[in-house]
Chain A
Amino acid sequence: MLWFGCREADTENPSALISYEQMPLKSEFFAGDSILIHFKGNITDPVHLVVSNAWGSTVLTPTWKDNELTFRFPKAFGQRAGNCHWALVKNGIIYDKGEIFIRPNPKKGTAMESYLGPQSIIAGKADFSMFVTSPTDIYDNPLSDSTEIKYYYQRMDSAEQESVHLKNLIGWKNIHSTEKSGRILVTATCNHSNSKELSTLVNPANPVDFQIAYKRIHPYADGNQIITFSTDAILDEFGNIQSDGTLVSFSITDTKGRVLQTIGTTINGVAEALLLHPTEAETWKVTAYITGAAKSNTITVDFEAALKDFTLSLSENGRTLNIEEMQSFMGQWIPDGMPISISIHDEKGTLLDSKRTTSRLGKAQFTMSKDFYPNGSYTLTLELAGMNKKMNVNLK
C-alpha cells in the first residue's frame, strides 16, 4: 500500500504509446515458487520491472524471446511471504502495475522458534511462565494466522496437551505454576515439526512457621562446648521443602536481655546453627526467623555454671595473684581459655588498669610489677565466669 502511496505522484502515463498484452498471471503463490511475468507485444528496450515487497525493492531486466518479454523474480522475492508489488517501467513511465500475494509454504517443512520465561516461578496459583512459539516455514515466514500449534506440558507426573492457534505471527500460552515444586517441561509441535525442550522451575512458595530444637553435649556453661540449634524441615503452605540455602536466623535472648544471634542455611529444609556455651549460668530463649515469612516456636535452654569455685592466692609481696583450682563440673580443670579479668583501683578508687587473661590448665596469673605499681594498697576486682571477687592488697 505504501508503495502505491509513494508512486501515485509519479508521472504515470498509461496512454498506450506502446501496445502490449499481459500474459495470464496468477495472483497467488506459495513461498519458494518460481515467479515469472510475461508480456507480449510491441515493446522495445529499455524496459524494466520494478518489484517491491516488505523487505525492499529491485529492478528486473527481461529476457526476450520473439515478441515476448519474461521477467523472473529473484529467489529472495519469491521466498518472502506477503504482498509483492510490481510495475512495468520504461523511461520513467509506469505502463502497468499489479500485485501478487505470496503465502507461507509449510509444505516444505516447519521450523519452530520458542521461548519460555521466566525460568523460575513460585509454587501456587498465582505465578506463571509464558510460552511463546512462532512456527515458520523453511524460508522463515511465520505461518498463517489460526494455524494450529500443539503444546505439551509435563508437570511432575502428569502430561498434558493443548492446542493454540497462531495469531499475529505468534502462538502463546501462560503456563501456571503448580502447587508442588519441581520442574515443568514444555514443548510445542506444528505440522509435525517440534520445538526444543524448554523448562521452568517451580520454586517452593514462602515458608510457613516451623519448629526448632537444640542438641548439646552437656548442660554446663564451660564456654567451650558447642550447642547446635536446628529446625525441622521447613515447608511452604503446599508442603514443599524450602530451597537449599534459605537463611534462618536464630535470635537468642539471654537473662540480661541481650540479643545474641547465629545463622543457619537450610539443606533439605533443615537449618542448623551453632554457638558456644556461655561461660556462666544462663537461660537462653531461642526463636528462629525467616524474616517476614516464618517464625519458629520459642525454646528455652538452661545452662548450669560449670565453674563453681576457685582458689585465689597472693604471693608474699602481694605482686602476683594466682588463680588456681578452676574446676569444672566433674572436678576436671576448666577447659583452657576461660576469660578472666581484673581491674586495679588505687586507694582513692581510681581505675588504674584492667587486665585480661585466659586460663590454662585450670590456672591463671596476674603480676603487678614494681615498676608500675609502687608499694601501697590497692583494690583488685576479679571477674570470672560471672563471679566477682573483690580484695584489697598491700603491695610490698
Chain B
Amino acid sequence: MPVQRTNILLILALFIGVAFHGSSIFFTLETTYDALIHLFFADHYAQTWFEPWDYRWYTGFTVQAYPPLVHQSIAILSYIGGLKFGMFAIALLGVLLFITGAYRFGLLITGNRRVAGYTALLAVFSSTFIETLHIFGQLPSIIGLSVLLHALPEIYLWIKTGKYRYLATSLSLIAVTVTSHHVTPIFGMVFFIFPLIGMVLMDAAKDQVSTTKAITFRVFLVQFKKGIWRIMGFGLSSLVLIVVCILPYWINSKENPITQVPIPHGSRDDFLEVASSGLVFFLVPWGILLFVLPYILYRYFSKRYLFFGLSFAALTLLGTGGTTPIPRIVLGETAFNILTLDRFTLWATIMALPIFGEFAYRLVEGDLKSYLQNRLGPVYHRILGGGIATGILLMVIFTMSLNYFRPSQPQKIKMLPIVNFLNQDQHDQWRYLPLGFGDQMAWLSAQTNAMTVDGNYHSARRLPELTTRAIERLENSKFRGVEGIGSLQQFLTVPEKYNLKYIFSNDKFYDPILYFCGWQRLQQLENGIMVWEKLNVPPLPAILPKEDVPTYLKIMWGTLPFLTVLLAFLINIQWVGYRMLKSKPLPQGEFLNYAVSYNGFSRPLVTVNHIWAILLIGTLGYGGYHFYLDNATQITPKNVVMAYYDALDFKEFERAHSYLNPEDDVSLSQYMLEVSVTDGILSSYAKLDSIGVELLGENPTSARAKVYTQWITPLEKVKKTFYHTLLKNGGKWYIVPSAFDNDLPPDQLFSSNGTAFYNQGRRRITTQQTHHEDVLKQPVLEVLQAKLVKYQGSYSIVGELQNVDNIPADVVIKATLYNDEDNELANFNAKYHMKHKLMPKETTPFRIDFEGIAWSSTQDTLPPTFDPDEFTPVALAEQPTQFNLQCAGNVVVTDLYKHIGLQDLEFTESGMSGVLFNSGIQEVTVPQLLFSYYSKDKELLWVDHYFLEEGVRIQRKQMFNYSPLKLTDLDVIHSSLDLCFVNGLPNAAITEKVFPNRFPSHAQEQLQPYPGDAFEFLKIDINGYIGNPR
C-alpha cells in the first residue's frame, strides 16, 4: 500500500477557501436574504432552548417549522461571542465542510486523488456556492448539502462492502443532514443517493465482467438482487432517521399545514422573459460550467455514471423554472408553486463539480493538454486555459459584486435607537411593524422582545390576512402590489385587532397611506427612522395564546440535533483523525479501484464542445446586442419617451434633462428647479408600474406621443396620460420640454398665525402607571348622521361626525353590522373616507366599507397585476339590517393643518373643476377631497374620496377635475343614531348635554347644489397630508 500523502491541492483549496470566503463573509452575509432569519431563530434558541413557541413574529409561531441544528449551533456559539459571532463561525464551518465534501465527492466519483483535488479547488470558486453563501445566505442548506457530500462515500462503501461500520458512518451523517435542512436529505435521496446506488451496482457488475462495455442489463440485475438487502437496509434506516430526527417538524407540518398561497419567486420565472431572474437563478450559478456542458453530459452519460447522468439532466431541467413547461409538468402544480427551483440548479452545479474537476485536470496536466498541444499548438492551449481561468475569476468577481451594484437590501440600519425606543416608556406593550427594513427586520426582532405582526419566515404564518396573500413580508409590501398594499392597509386600518401601535418607517413611500389611515408621526429616531403611532390601541394582554406541544416533542427538538452531531463525531472521529494526521493508513476507498485512466481524449467531443462554446458566445453576444438596442435611449421616439420616464421614476433628473431638446435652452439648473418644486403623490411617492407609448403622428423629424402611465402609489393606482412633442436633432430624438406654470404668489414674505398644541404625556416621571391627573380626558364627539347603505352590491356605513369639544381630536370609528336577529356579521374601521384629525367644532363625513380578507376562498383567482386600491368586499352570510358605531376621540396635537381653500369651482361637461389654494405655511403634499352626496331633502347618501396627484405649494393653486358618481344604484337600508356610541357613551346623551340647541340648517346651507344622478347636493371637505412639516 502506498504511503498516503497529504493532497496538496486540497490543502491549497482549504487555504484559499478559508481566506477568501472567511474574510468576505463579514461584508456579505449580513446583507443576504436569509442569514438574518437564521440569526433570529438562533436568538430564539439562545433565549428559550426548549420552548418552541415564539411570540415575536406573526402574533406567535412555532420554530418547529424549520430544522434546528444550524440555529441551535449559532445559539450555543452566541453564548461565547454573541449571535453574529455564532453566525460567522457557522458560515466558516460551512465553507470547510463544503470544500472537504466536494473533495470527497470528487474522489468518490472519479477515484483519482488528483482530480478530487482539482474538484475541491474549483468548489472554492464555484459561482453557485458563492451565490448561495454570499448572496442568499442559506446556511442550513450549505451545511446540509456539505454533510450529505461527506455521507456519499460512506454509503457507497456500505453498499459495496457491506461492513456495518460504513452503515453506521453513513447513517450518522444522514442524521446530521436531516437536522440541519429538511429538503436536502429528501431530494438528496432522489438526486444523489439513487444514482450513487446505481453507480455502486455498476461497479459491482464490472467486477463480474472484464470491461465496462460487457455490463449487460442481466449482469446489472444480478448485482441489484445481491445488493438489495443492503440498499433496503440503508434506505429504510435513513427513512426512519428522516422521520425521527425532526419528528416535531413533521407533526407540526401535519397539524399546521402551510396554508400560504404561493409567493412568486424568481426561480419560477421564464428566464428568457425576466432577464434578471435568468441571471440570478441560471447564468450566475452555472457560470463557466455552461461552457463545458457537453463534456459533463458526455461523461455523466457514460455507462458507469449513467444514473448520475439522468439525475444531472433532471436537475438541470428542473432548475430552468418557468422557461420550459417541463418542470411544472414533472413537479405538478402544487410542488412547483411551493418549491424554490433554484435549489435544483444548486444541486446540478454541485453534481457537475467532479466532472469539471476532471476536465480541469485533463486540460492542465492530462490527455486533453497533450491532445490540444499536438493538434492546435501550445499557444492555443495556453489561451484556452487562460480563457477558462479568466472566466472563472470574472464570474467570482461578478457574483461577489452583485449585491454591491444592485443591493437587494436597504442600507444597513442602526438598530440601537429602535431597540431603545421599544424598551422605553413601556412601548413594548404593543406590537410594532417595521416598514422598508428588508431582511434586516429579523435582526431587529432578534434584539428585542417586543412583538411584530410581520415576520420573515412565511411558512410559519398563521394570520389569514397574511397567508392568503402572496406577499413575502408586510414590510416590503410595495413590491408585491395589490396583495402587498392591500394586506398592509388591513393592518393599518384595524390595528386594534393586532395591538399594533408603532410603525418604524424606513421608506417614505408608505407615509401617505399611514397618514390617511389615521396614523401620526411621533418622532424621528437618531438613525433617521420615522416612528408613527396610532391612538386608541389597547396594549397587549398579559397572557397571549400559544399552541403548546407535548413535552417529549420539546425535549426531542432540543436534544436530538446535538445528539446526532455528537454521535456522528464519535463514530467518525477515528477516521477523521487518520485522514488529517496520517497517523495510520486509512482503509482505501473501494471506489479508488474504478478510476479511469485518462489516455486519449475523445476527438469528436473536442469538436462538439468547441462548437457549443462558440454557439454560446454567439448567443450571449446577440443577447448583449439586443440589450444595447433596447437601451439605446434616443434611437427612436418611443425609446426616448421610455428612457425619460425611467429616469423620472428613479429620480435621475440629470439623465432626464439630457433627453430634452437642447435647442429649447432649458438649463439643467432651471429644469432641476422646476422638478424640485413639484411635490405630490406622483412625484414623491409613486412607482411607475407600466408605461405605454402611442405615437399620434410621426414623420422623420418630429413626432407626437401619447404616453399612458400607470403609477403605483401607496393609496391607489394612478393612471395618467401625458402628451409629448418629440423632435429629431442630429440623429437623436429629443423631448420638447413642456410649458411651465408661470403663477407668482403675491407675497415674498408673509406671516401666519395659528394655534399649536402640546401634550405633556406624563408630567411626573414614573415607571408606574400614569398618574390619574395626567390622563387626559377624551375629547367629546357627536355623530350627526349615520346610515347603512348598499351601493353597487356592497354595504357601507356613511355619516357625519363633529368634534364638539374644545380640544383637537383624533377620531377612530368602528362599525359593526348586524342582521335582524342581532347576530354580528362583520366589523371594520373607517379608512381614508374621513378626516381623522379634527379641530374643535370641525365636522367630517365618513364612510366605512367592510373589507374581507382577500382571496380567502381558493376559487378566487389572483389578479395578474398590481392594484393597491383593489377592494375585497366582505362576504356576508346574511343581509345586514342594523349597525353599531363605536367612535373614540383622543387628544391630538399634530397634523392639524387646515389652510386649504377651495375656489374657481366650475361645472364642466365631465363633472366639475376647481382650484385648491394653500394659504398657510406648510406645503401640502397629498391633498384629498371628500365629496359627500346629499339627496333632494339634504340627507346624506354617500361619501367619495379623491386624491390629487400633485401637491399644493404655499400660496399657490392646484387644479383638480372630478367626475361625480351616479347614485342610481344606491339604497339607504337603515338610518339611525340609536346605536352610536362615543367614548363608550351613548350619542344621544352627548347631544342632549353638549349640543342641545343645534341648528341643522347650518350644515344644509353650506351644501353645493349640483344636478347629479340621483343626488341634488354635494359637499366638499378638504384634507391634506404634509410630507415635510416644518
Among residues of B, the one whose C-beta sits closest to the C-beta of A371 is B702
Q: Does B900 contact A (CB under 8 A)?
A: yes
Q: Does B901 contact A (CB under 8 A)?
A: yes
Q: Does B753 contact A (CB under 8 A)?
A: yes
Q: Which residues of A contact B776 (CB under 8 A)?
A: 119
Q: Which residues of B contact A225 (CB under 8 A)?
A: 746
Contact with A along B830-860 (1 / 0, CB 8 A): 0000000011111100000000000000000
Asked whether, in the complex, the Cβ of B998 is within 8 Å of the Cβ of A293, the reply is: yes
Q: How close is B269's CB to chain A, nearest CB, in angstroms?
A: 41
Q: How close is A87's CB to chain B, nearest CB, in angstroms?
A: 39
Q: How close is B641's CB to chain A, nearest CB, in angstroms?
A: 16
Asked whether, in the complex, the Cβ of B697 is within 8 Å of the Cβ of A292, the reply is: no
Cα A151 to Cα B725 in complex, Å, equals: 82
Known: A120-B777, A226-B919. A265 touches B754 (CB 8 A): yes
Among residues of B, the one whose C-beta sits closest to the C-beta of A287 is B1005
Asked whether, in the complex, the Cβ of A360 is within 8 Å of the Cβ of B742, the reply is: yes
Q: How close is A344's CB to chain B, nearest CB, in angstroms?
A: 14
Contact with B along A201-243 (1 / 0, CB 8 A): 0011011000000000000000011100000000000000011
Cα A183 to Cα B225 in complex, Å, equals: 100
Q: Does A278 contact B (CB under 8 A)?
A: yes
Asked whether, in the complex, the Cβ of A247 is within 8 Å of the Cβ of B744, the reply is: no
Q: Does A138 contact B (CB under 8 A)?
A: no
Among residues of B, the one whose C-beta sits closest to the C-beta of A364 is B742
Q: How close is A246's CB to chain B, nearest CB, in angstroms?
A: 5
Asked whether, in the complex, the Cβ of A263 is within 8 Å of the Cβ of B898, the reply is: yes
Asked whether, in the complex, the Cβ of A267 is within 8 Å of the Cβ of B755, the reply is: yes
Q: Which residues of B contact A291 (CB under 8 A)?
A: 802, 841, 843, 1002-1003, 1006
Asked whether, in the complex, the Cβ of A274 is within 8 Å of the Cβ of B919, the reply is: yes
Asked whether, in the complex, the Cβ of A278 is within 8 Å of the Cβ of B839, the reply is: no
Q: Does A342 contact B (CB under 8 A)?
A: no
Q: How close is A305's CB to chain B, nearest CB, in angstroms?
A: 15
Cα A257 to Cα B999 in complex, Å, equals: 23
B-contacting residues, A138-168, CB 8 Å: none
Q: Which residues of A contact B802 (CB under 8 A)?
A: 291-292
Among residues of B, the one whose C-beta sits closest to the C-beta of A198 is B773
Asked whether, in the complex, the Cβ of A262 is within 8 Å of the Cβ of B697, the reply is: no
Q: Which residues of A contact B1005 (CB under 8 A)?
A: 251, 287, 289
Contact with B along A283-304 (1 / 0, CB 8 A): 0000101111101000000000
Asked whether, in the complex, the Cβ of A251 is within 8 Å of the Cβ of B1006, the reply is: yes
Q: Which of A204, A251, A254, A258 contacts B806 (CB 8 A)?
A: A204
Asked whether, in the complex, the Cβ of B703 is within 8 Å of the Cβ of A275, the reply is: no
Among residues of B, the one whose C-beta sits closest to the C-beta of A290 is B841
Asked whether, in the complex, the Cβ of B839 is within 8 Å of the Cβ of A369, the reply is: no
Asked whether, in the complex, the Cβ of B1009 is within 8 Å of the Cβ of A203, the reply is: no
Cα A94 to Cα B1005 in complex, Å, equals: 84
Q: Does B704 contact A (CB under 8 A)?
A: yes
Asked whether, in the complex, the Cβ of A247 is within 8 Å of the Cβ of B1002, the reply is: no
Q: Does A260 contact B (CB under 8 A)?
A: yes
Asked whether, in the complex, the Cβ of B755 is within 8 Å of the Cβ of A358, the reply is: no
Known: A265-B898, A274-B899. A226 touches B746 (CB 8 A): yes
A-contacting residues, B992-1023, CB 8 Å: 993-995, 997-1000, 1002-1003, 1005-1009, 1020, 1022
Asked whether, in the complex, the Cβ of B902 is within 8 Å of the Cβ of A119, the reply is: no
Asked whether, in the complex, the Cβ of A258 is within 8 Å of the Cβ of B744, the reply is: no
Asked whether, in the complex, the Cβ of B903 is within 8 Å of the Cβ of A275, the reply is: yes
Known: A275-B919, A289-B1006, A293-B998. A372 touches B806 (CB 8 A): no
Cα A147 to Cα B285 in complex, Å, equals: 88
Report which residue of A243, A261, A278, A289 has the largest number of chain B beta carbons within 10 angstroms of its beta carbon: A261
Cα A236 to Cα B757 in complex, Å, equals: 22
Q: Which residues of A contact B900 (CB under 8 A)?
A: 263
Q: Which residues of A contact B896 (CB under 8 A)?
A: 245
Among residues of A, the one whose C-beta sits closest to the C-beta of B902 is A261
Among residues of B, the one whose C-beta sits closest to the C-beta of A118 is B777
Q: How close is A196's CB to chain B, nearest CB, in angstroms?
A: 9
Q: Which of A203, A258, A263, A279 contacts B901 (CB 8 A)?
A: A263
Q: Does B581 contact A (CB under 8 A)?
A: no
Q: Does B741 contact A (CB under 8 A)?
A: yes
Q: Does A34 contact B (CB under 8 A)?
A: no
Cα A207 to Cα B841 in complex, Å, equals: 10
Contact with A along B716-754 (1 / 0, CB 8 A): 000000000100000000000001011110110000011
Q: Does A336 contact B (CB under 8 A)?
A: yes
Q: Which residues of B contact A36 (CB under 8 A)?
A: none
Among residues of A, the one whose C-beta sits closest to the C-beta of B993 is A126
Number of interface residues of B (CB under 8 A): 65
Q: Which residues of A contact B903 (CB under 8 A)?
A: 252, 260, 262, 275-276, 278
Among residues of B, the one whose C-beta sits closest to the C-beta of A197 is B773
Q: Does B1027 contact A (CB under 8 A)?
A: no
Known: A289-B1005, A293-B995. A120 touches B806 (CB 8 A): yes
Asked whether, in the complex, the Cβ of B744 is within 8 Å of the Cβ of A224, the reply is: yes
Q: Which of A206, A207, A247 contacts B842 (CB 8 A)?
A: A247
Cα A244 to Cα B1007 in complex, Å, equals: 26
Asked whether, in the complex, the Cβ of B904 is within 8 Å of the Cβ of A273, the reply is: no
Q: Does B394 contact A (CB under 8 A)?
A: no
Asked whether, in the complex, the Cβ of A262 is within 8 Å of the Cβ of B902, the reply is: yes
Q: How close is A262's CB to chain B, nearest CB, in angstroms?
A: 4
Q: Which of A261, A267, A357 contacts B753 (CB 8 A)?
A: A267
Q: Which of A203, A290, A336 contacts B743 (CB 8 A)?
A: A336
Q: Does A318 contact B (CB under 8 A)?
A: no
A-contacting residues, B765-799, CB 8 Å: 772-773, 776-777, 784
Q: Which of A226, A254, A266 contacts B747 (CB 8 A)?
A: A226
Cα A209 to Cα B903 in complex, Å, equals: 25
Known: A119-B777, A292-B998. A258 touches B702 (CB 8 A): no
Among residues of B, the one whose C-beta sits closest to the C-beta of A274 is B919
Q: Which residues of B contact A279 (CB under 8 A)?
A: 904
Asked whether, in the complex, the Cβ of A273 is within 8 Å of the Cβ of B919, the reply is: yes
Known: A265-B754, A278-B904, A336-B744. A245 touches B1006 (CB 8 A): no
Cα A252 to Cα B907 in complex, Å, equals: 16
Among residues of B, the one whose C-beta sits closest to the C-beta of A360 is B742
Contact with A along B881-901 (1 / 0, CB 8 A): 000000000000000101111
Known: A226-B747, A247-B842, A267-B753. A289 touches B742 (CB 8 A): no
Q: Which residues of A contact B994 (CB under 8 A)?
A: 122, 206
A-contacting residues, B663-711, CB 8 Å: 696-697, 699, 702-704
Asked whether, in the complex, the Cβ of A243 is within 8 Å of the Cβ of B919, the reply is: no
Q: Which of B703, B741, B746, B993 contacts A371 (CB 8 A)?
A: B703
Cα A132 to Cα B755 in complex, Å, equals: 34
Q: Does A182 contact B (CB under 8 A)?
A: no
Asked whether, in the complex, the Cβ of A245 is within 8 Å of the Cβ of B741, the reply is: no
Contact with A along B804-848 (1 / 0, CB 8 A): 011110000000000000000000000000000011111100000
Q: Which of A278, A337, A372 contacts B742 (CB 8 A)?
A: A337
Cα A279 to Cα B839 in complex, Å, equals: 31
Apart from A245-B755, A251-B1006, A263-B901: 5 A-B pairs, beta carbons within 8 A = A260-B904, A292-B802, A335-B746, A336-B742, A360-B742
**The 10 A-B residue pairs with the shortest CB-CB distance in the complex, in nearest-first order:** A337-B743, A262-B901, A274-B919, A243-B806, A258-B905, A245-B755, A247-B839, A244-B755, A247-B842, A358-B742
